[in-house]
Structure 1
Amino acid sequence: MLTHLTLINFALADNLAIDIDQGFNVLTGETGAGKSLLLDALSACLGDRTDTNYVRYGAEKADVTAIFNYQHESAEAKWLQAHEMEDDTGEIHLRRVIFATGRSKAWINGRPSSLSELKELGRLLVQLYSQHSQQQLLEPPYPKHWLDRYSNFQKTAQDVRDAYAVWQKNIRQHQAALDAQATRLQRIETLELQLEELEDVVQIHYKDIEQEFDRLSHHEHIMQDCGYSLNVLDESEQNISQEISSIIRRLESHAGRSEQLSEIYNSLLNAQSELEDATANLRQFIDRQSFDPERMEQLNSQLEVFHRLARKYRTQPEELKTEYERWQQELEKLHQLEDPETLAEQVEISHQIFLERAEHLDQIRREAAIPLAKQLTEQVKPLALPEAYFEFKFEPLEQVSSEGLSSIQLLFTANKGIPAQPLARVASGGELSRIALVMQVMNAEKTESEVLVFDEIDVGISGGTAEIVGRLLAGLAKHVQILCITHQAQVAAQSDQHLLVKKLQTDPASSTIVELEEDQRILELARMTGGVEISETTLQHAKQLRQLKFQNSH
């Protein structure tokens, strides 16, 4: 659960630290006091988008920390372990710093983290329900998703979506095979002819024969230049080898007299050695050379074949081998392609698997829909809707989809004797807000999150209806921790902890959040009931609301 929040230079908060209790916690305050302060700070710690408006005027940055405790076998504990962020204290510290420049940084248990990591962990810790949630009821997929979530059908529904995806993939592959069948055999024949034509050529390395042909073409010139070079190096009367030997002998006697002369002497010794090696290699090269006209003619023929095929296939001679290998791979793939008949069998098999899963999902949805609609009816009736009635309407889809075999509508009527019709068509705004509230509370009973946040979801209700909403939330808070921003005294009176947001007349303006003692709670409930002027009547009414809380808890 959430145990502590610290806000430094966050929006209207200068330096604010607040402890949060287990159970049902409400946050109230006058309009403009900043009731969303705590919720915005918590959302920032959970990875939501932020902007520079969160940085207090005149400050360089806003700094927010949220502390949660958790059970060692919980989903969040496993997440921390997987990301190597465990803490021996059994706490989770989420910190977010927002800079006036627009940048932000995040930490989980002191370790720098990404916003995606904050969001992943945040979804395990906190579930948020807002006053805008009633709009979801008007979206066509909502009844089906709500039914699946409440009845724990999400995995079964995902299995249906997966089976549908496999079926559609097989359909596409089968159609592709049908489209390709006409050209497949023709392409195989073409590739086989091309590969046969290149089979002998690609055994020869083009660069090697090109170089050999060039050498034979210039044989006479090469031998003349090599002979001249060997003569100058080693065979003439005053050759380079003799001259360098004479220089070395002259410098040898002086090498010990100068460090620089010694280096020159050693360099000349190395040069002499290199010249001797080069001379030996040159003599060996000359001895091995011979001109072979037949070989030259053979090379010329091979090169002509390379150039002819390169022109034919519009590539470079040295790239023919690469083309050959590419054609081989294409031919192998064409041979490996399954025929349309085999793929048609796979389409039928995957279709049957999808139908079996979809029919099972449709059946369990229909079975769960009747008691769920009855439960929803009973939960809504106390909220000033005594004749409320709900039912789920299943209609077969003209074309099945990844969501199943049927469309699902939630039908509603608020009046006895009037047939139920689609909720979006007949429910008023006030009725929608009450229905949304009950559906959210029912969903919350199934959530794995230990912290539920309700942001002004009681808008549009009042009086006895608000009191019943308060009881609903108080009952839910026996199992999970609840934070609720509310304008309704009847809801706030049912809470275990009452936090008041107060605007302070500082410069610049600031807000603070204080925990109210029992006497202070009575005054705040009276203000919420009667306005700024608190009379004895509103005080008595506030006390009665608190007494109802204690009566309901026993």
Structure 2
Amino acid sequence: LARRVFGDGRTRAYAWGRAAPRDDVAAAAERVIAMSGQFEQRRLARAAYQLDVLDAFCGDEQLRRRAAARVAWRELQAVRRRHDELQGGAEAAEARLAELRALVEDTLGMEAEDEDSLRAERERLRHVTELAAGAGAASEALAPDDGEGAASLVAVAERAISPLEALAPELRRAGDELRDVELRLRETATELRSFLASLEAEPDRLEQVEAELDRIAEAKRRFRCTSYEELLARAAEARAELDALEEGADPVAAAAKAVEVAEQRVDELALVLRKAREAAAGPFAQAVAGELEGIGMGEGEFRVELSAQATGPRVTGADTVAFQIRPNHGLPFAPVAETASGGELSRIALAIAAVGGGETLVFDEIDAGIGGQTAHAVGETLERLATRAQVLTITHLPQIASRADRHFRVEKLPGDPTHTRIDPLGEPERRDEIQRMLGGQEFLTAVQAD
């Protein structure tokens, strides 16, 4: 994964060596890189973010359930709007019928895979000149209409060998191979000529393909579909609804039934999500508590409170999650957002990353609001994490920096414009930089003298 920032401010994202949408690259990065910075620490105080963290701890299957719940929620909202429109009166019902008929008419003849196959055909037709030139040149090289080609030359070689096979049986294999090669070369030349004929058979095909793709794009835009698959699904639903109306079915009753089915699907997914969260909440809290204890937060008292949303199921299910801590012995548990200081939020973010992080962990100023012995404990935790994952840390504290295997110095260079430079440090430079972070040689000398 990569992201390139150009001098004029433009950016471009890449995945597996190819340009990709920035949001897609970000989503892929979140699966393999655990980020922890001041922004993430602020997000940690939000219930929605806490729910995301717990679901990520549950695993990939839970994330797939959330994706299914998101789709089910959108479908529920759509059928509810349809039901409300039909209940709104005859005018709304007539508009709905007109939209259904237009959707069926505009998608007439469209089949699954049409869009992908048409795009592939368009790409081929756009290069018909190169295809024709290449196939023609290959055909002429193999078996030209005038003169000798590769097939004829092989035939000459075969005729030279054939009379000698009786005298030298060991040449029989070479003769058989030459005869086989000649046959295959002539068959290949015939296939190439057939390919050329197919290119010349439909000179207007590119315009037809472009027109069909434009029809698909216009239908997706008109009916607010984000994909071709969604367009076909909407068209199938429209045909089913029109068929029901022609058979005398009550459209309002049909819409109410669709709402009932969609609500049931949302409730089922919400229940599955809740069971997974209930099963994961205890192990997650126990693991985070163990990490908190190791970085100086009392006895590491941390728990996850799972409750039902008052408004019922939503796009992420029907649950609300609250991370709670007890920062001091004898105090009651309280939500992280109300109790944790800036330094405590930093350590909680570190503990959560340690529990749920992937193969790469990035900590941006994890030292915010901490110092002294706590900084030593955080450094020890980061060093321990580095035994199982790649850990990148941006820090201003020598207690943390001194634990790293490799060091880079980041500094701004004034100018027009200002530049940022990153330099790898060798062992002497590393010692000098940590000494500077400790206050410099004069400060250390003064401390030692005292």
Query: Is TM > 0.5 for Structure 1 vs Structure 2?
Result: yes
For 2:443 and 2:398, the matched residues in 1 are separated by 14
- Do residues 432 (structure 1) and 345 (structure 2) align? yes
Bigger proportion of residues as helix: 2
For residue 316 of structure 2, the aligned residue among 390, 395, 403 is 403
Quick one: which amino acid aligns to residue 443 of structure 1?
G
How far did residue 369 of structure 1 move? Answer: 0.8
In the TM superposition, 1:482-521 aligns within 5 A as 482-501=391-410, 513-521=422-430
How far did residue 119 of structure 1 move? Answer: 4.6
For residue 378 of structure 1, the aligned residue among 273, 280, 290 is 290
Alpha-carbon spacing, 1:458–1:360, altered in 2? closer, same or farther (3 Å): same
Contact 1:376 1:390 in 2 (8 A): yes
How far did residue 535 of structure 1 move? Answer: 3.5
For residue 416 of structure 1, the aligned residue among 329, 340, 350 is 329
How far did residue 338 of structure 1 move? Answer: 5.6
Query: Greater relative contact order: 1 or 2 (C-alpha under 8 angstroms, separation 6 or more)?
Result: 1
Contact 1:503 1:511 in 2 (8 A): yes
Alpha-carbon spacing, 1:382–1:349, altered in 2? closer, same or farther (3 Å): same
For 2:422 and 2:23, the matched residues in 1 are separated by 29
Say which SS state the counterpart of residue 490 (structure 1) adopts. Answer: helix
For 2:410 and 2:76, the matched residues in 1 are separated by 56
For 1:107 and 1:409, the matched residues in 2 are separated by 35
How far did residue 143 of structure 1 move? Answer: 1.3
In the TM superposition, 1:62-141 aligns within 5 A as 96-98=5-7, 102=8, 104=10, 113=19, 116=22, 119=25, 123=29, 128-141=35-48
Say which SS state the counterpart of residue 176 (structure 1) adopts. Answer: helix
For 2:246 and 2:379, the matched residues in 1 are separated by 70
In the TM superposition, 1:61-460 aligns within 5 A as 96-98=5-7, 102=8, 104=10, 113=19, 116=22, 119=25, 123=29, 128-152=35-59, 153-180=62-89, 335=246, 339-400=251-312, 401-444=314-357, 447=358, 451-460=360-369
Larger radius of gyration: 1
Deviations 1:494-530 (A, max 9, x none): 2111223467899999775443333443333233224
For residue 3 of structure 2, the aligned residue among 46, 53, 58 is 46
Contact 2:13 2:22 in 1 (8 A): no
Alpha-carbon spacing, 1:154–1:112, altered in 2? closer, same or farther (3 Å): closer
For 1:148 and 1:346, the matched residues in 2 are separated by 29
Alpha-carbon spacing, 1:384–1:169, altered in 2? closer, same or farther (3 Å): same
Which position in structure 2 is the counterpart of 1:227? none
Contact 2:37 2:365 in 1 (8 A): yes
**TM-score, length-scaled by structure 2:** 0.56
Alpha-carbon spacing, 1:166–1:422, altered in 2? closer, same or farther (3 Å): same
Alpha-carbon spacing, 1:110–1:168, altered in 2? closer, same or farther (3 Å): closer
How far did residue 146 of structure 1 move? Answer: 0.9
Contact 2:289 2:302 in 1 (8 A): yes
Contact 1:382 1:468 in 2 (8 A): yes
Quick one: which amino acid aligns to residue 485 of structure 1?
I
For 1:347 and 1:392, the matched residues in 2 are separated by 34
For residue 470 of structure 1, the aligned residue among 367, 379, 387 is 379
**TM-score, length-scaled by structure 1:** 0.46
Identity over the aligned pairs, expressed in percent?
29
Deviations 1:286-339 (A, max 9, x none): xxxxxxxxxxxxxxxxxxxxxxxxxxxxxxxxxxxxxxxxxxx9xx79648862
Say which SS state the counterpart of residue 398 (structure 1) adopts. Answer: coil
Contact 1:148 1:365 in 2 (8 A): yes
Which position in structure 2 is the counterpart of 1:225? none
Which position in structure 2 is the counterpart of 1:231? none
Say which SS state the counterpart of residue 393 (structure 1) adopts. Answer: strand
How far did residue 114 of structure 1 move? Answer: 7.2
For 2:24 and 2:73, the matched residues in 1 are separated by 33
Quick one: which amino acid aligns to residue 302 of structure 2?
F
Say which SS state the counterpart of residue 409 (structure 1) adopts. Answer: strand
Alpha-carbon spacing, 1:164–1:461, altered in 2? closer, same or farther (3 Å): same
Say which SS state the counterpart of residue 36 (structure 2) adopts. Answer: strand
Say which SS state the counterpart of residue 395 (structure 1) adopts. Answer: strand
Quick one: which amino acid aligns to residue 348 of structure 1?
E
Which position in structure 1 is the counterpart of 2:370? 461
For 1:509 and 1:342, the matched residues in 2 are separated by 65
Say which SS state the counterpart of residue 359 (structure 1) adopts. Answer: helix
RMSD between aligned alpha carbons? 4.0
For 2:18 and 2:318, the matched residues in 1 are separated by 47
Unaligned runs of 5+ in 2: 98-238
For 2:316 and 2:50, the matched residues in 1 are separated by 12
Say which SS state the counterpart of residue 408 (structure 2) adopts. Answer: strand
Alpha-carbon spacing, 1:363–1:500, altered in 2? closer, same or farther (3 Å): same
Contact 1:388 1:415 in 2 (8 A): no
Bigger proportion of residues as strand: 1
Say which SS state the counterpart of residue 416 (structure 1) adopts. Answer: coil
For 2:13 and 2:92, the matched residues in 1 are separated by 59
For 2:318 and 2:291, the matched residues in 1 are separated by 29
How far did residue 346 of structure 1 move? Answer: 2.3
User: What is the total number of aligned residue pairs between the two structures?
Assistant: 299
Alpha-carbon spacing, 1:374–1:342, altered in 2? closer, same or farther (3 Å): same
Quick one: which amino acid aligns to residue 43 of structure 2?
Q
Alpha-carbon spacing, 1:110–1:103, altered in 2? closer, same or farther (3 Å): farther
Contact 1:395 1:408 in 2 (8 A): yes
Deviations 1:61-86 (A, max 9, x none): xxxxxxxxxxxxxxxxxxxxxxxxxx
Which position in structure 1 is the counterpart of 2:170? none
Alpha-carbon spacing, 1:519–1:168, altered in 2? closer, same or farther (3 Å): same
Contact 2:34 2:353 in 1 (8 A): no
Which position in structure 2 is the counterpart of 1:525? 434
Contact 2:291 2:300 in 1 (8 A): no
Alpha-carbon spacing, 1:119–1:488, altered in 2? closer, same or farther (3 Å): same
